[in-house]
């Protein structure tokens, strides 16, 4: 059995967050107290009171409470975890605090606040969802030495860096798993790969469990093909370019959260996971399906009689060149994830089923 750099033992597999225990894989020796997979009694506010205490178990810090971060944080909170996080604007901080009840700190990774890093040290789990910037790289890792010295003495034991399937680059339509050679095709993807490597190294140096999640195109409530269709705006240049792709990996945010929860219970040292659905369908197909669903649920509101993706012609020049189909076999085998939305069809249906009438 592979031995983790942090010594301890994995908690006995048991149902957690709705996951079936028989799928939890025993990968290494870990500690039950480091990775408290069972749910604890106590309210979120009680957990918040503990932020200064020596009890950081079941405390998550989300560096970048964006779309995935806040969605995941909400789920953890309902399982009585203490959740803190960061964002870069006061308006957003107020919204996250008042509407969702999180402890949120203003944090700009370009000029990291030591106070926030100190607070982070009271947490055992960290998700990093801050994207890299071309020309700068990962804004957090600009301060790698500072991070290392601050976090070395802290409570952090589990770290997940949210990356992207863009690191694979052009694969000629092949199925790619996590062992497929990475060949990032543009500066942004190169910065993403460098960020992955940087976080893996930092996690290794700190001796904490570190995992990389390579995410496909993220969609969910409020951010989906249906939401775009409802706006009824002309397609942007980027949308037109992407429409020519034959394969596009995507994943519903609820399935990212499933994989994150499973990973907390099944930590690794340096493992990479593709987090995508089963169906890398072309965007034209997805948007046309979204158009049909919206039009069926709220007939007569769409300006055009068919999806704009059906009436426009798109260049197919890039087809296969920048294409790949990303495999999710590892999250199924190692985490036992059973996707809530294996295809965009069920994902979009669930979004539209829960949507208030956008035309009223």
Ligand X SMILES: NC(=O)c1ccc[n+]([C@@H]2O[C@H](COP(=O)([O-])OP(=O)(O)OC[C@H]3O[C@@H](n4cnc5c(N)ncnc54)[C@H](OP(=O)(O)O)[C@@H]3O)[C@@H](O)[C@H]2O)c1
State which residue, 82 or 132, has the beta carbon closest to ligand X. Answer: 132
d(CA 50, CA 281): 46
State which residue, 253 or 264, has the beta carbon closest to ligand X. Answer: 253
State which residue, 28 or 192, has the beta carbon closest to ligand X. Answer: 192
Q: How far is the CB of 69 from ligand X (least distance, A)?
A: 6
Can you name the residues that pair with 158 across neighbouring β-strands? 125, 209
State which residue, 49 or 197, has the beta carbon closest to ligand X. Answer: 197
Q: How far is the CB of 65 from ligand X (least distance, A)?
A: 5
State which residue, 5 or 350, has the beta carbon closest to ligand X. Answer: 350
Q: How far is the CB of 301 from ligand X (least distance, A)?
A: 27
Can you name the residues that pair with 87 across neighbouring β-strands? 106
Can you name the residues that pair with 137 across neighbouring β-strands? 133
Q: What is the 3-state secondary structure (H, E, C) of 259-319?
A: HHHHHHHCCCEEEEEEECCCCCCCHHHHHHHHHHHHHHHCCCCCCCCCCHHHHCCCCCCCC
d(CA 154, CA 233): 48
Q: How far is the CB of 40 from ligand X (least distance, A)?
A: 26
State which residue, 6 or 226, has the beta carbon closest to ligand X. Answer: 226
d(CA 302, CA 46): 48
What is the number of the residue whose Cβ is closest to ligand X?
A: 66
Strands (E), the chain: 59-63, 82-87, 103-106, 125-128, 158-164, 175-176, 209-215, 217-219, 250-252, 269-275, 325-326
Contact 222, 216 (CB under 8 A): no
Q: How far is the CB of 207 from ligand X (least distance, A)?
A: 25
Residues that bind ligand X (CB under 6 A): 64-69, 87-89, 92, 107-110, 129-131, 139, 162, 164, 215, 217-218
Q: How far is the CB of 259 from ligand X (least distance, A)?
A: 13
């Amino acid at each position: 059995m592979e031995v983790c750099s942090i010594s301890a033992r994995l908690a006995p597999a048991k149902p957690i967050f709705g996951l079936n225990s028989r799928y939890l894989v025993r990968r290494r020796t870990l500690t039950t107290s480091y990775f408290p997979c069972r749910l604890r009694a106590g309210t979120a506010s009680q957990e918040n009171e503990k932020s200064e205490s020596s009890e950081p178990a079941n405390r998550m810090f989300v560096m970048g409470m964006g779309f995935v971060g806040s969605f995941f944080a909400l789920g953890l909170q309902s399982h009585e975890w203490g959740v803190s996080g960061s964002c870069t604007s006061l308006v957003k901080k107020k919204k996250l605090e008042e509407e969702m009840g999180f402890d949120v700190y203003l944090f700009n990774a370009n000029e990291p606040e030591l106070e926030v890093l100190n607070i982070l040290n009271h947490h055992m789990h960290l998700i990093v969802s801050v994207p890299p910037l071309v020309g700068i790289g990962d804004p957090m890792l600009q301060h790698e030495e500072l991070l290392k010295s601050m976090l070395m003495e802290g409570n952090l034991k589990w770290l997940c860096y949210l990356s992207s399937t863009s690191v694979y680059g052009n694969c000629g339509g092949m199925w790619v798993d996590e062992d497929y050679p990475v060949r990032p095709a543009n500066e942004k993807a190169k910065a993403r790969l460098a960020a992955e490597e940087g976080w893996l190294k930092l996690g290794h140096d700190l001796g904490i469990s570190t995992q990389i999640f390579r995410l496909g195109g993220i969609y969910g409530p409020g951010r989906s093909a249906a939401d775009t269709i409802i706006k009824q705006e002309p397609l942007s240049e980027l949308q037109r370019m992407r429409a020519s792709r034959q394969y596009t990996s995507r994943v519903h945010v609820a399935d990212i959260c499933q994989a994150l929860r499973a990973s907390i219970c099944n930590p690794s040292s340096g493992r990479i996971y593709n987090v995508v659905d089963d169906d890398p369908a072309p965007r034209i197909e997805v948007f046309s399906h979204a158009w049909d669903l919206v039009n069926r649920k709220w007939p007569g509101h769409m300006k055009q009689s068919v999806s704009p993706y059906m009436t426009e012609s798109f260049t197919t020049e890039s087809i296969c060149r920048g294409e790949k189909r990303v495999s999710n076999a590892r999250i199924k085998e190692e985490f036992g994830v059973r996707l809530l939305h294996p295809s965009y069809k069920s994902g979009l249906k669930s979004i539209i089923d829960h949507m208030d009438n956008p035309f009223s």
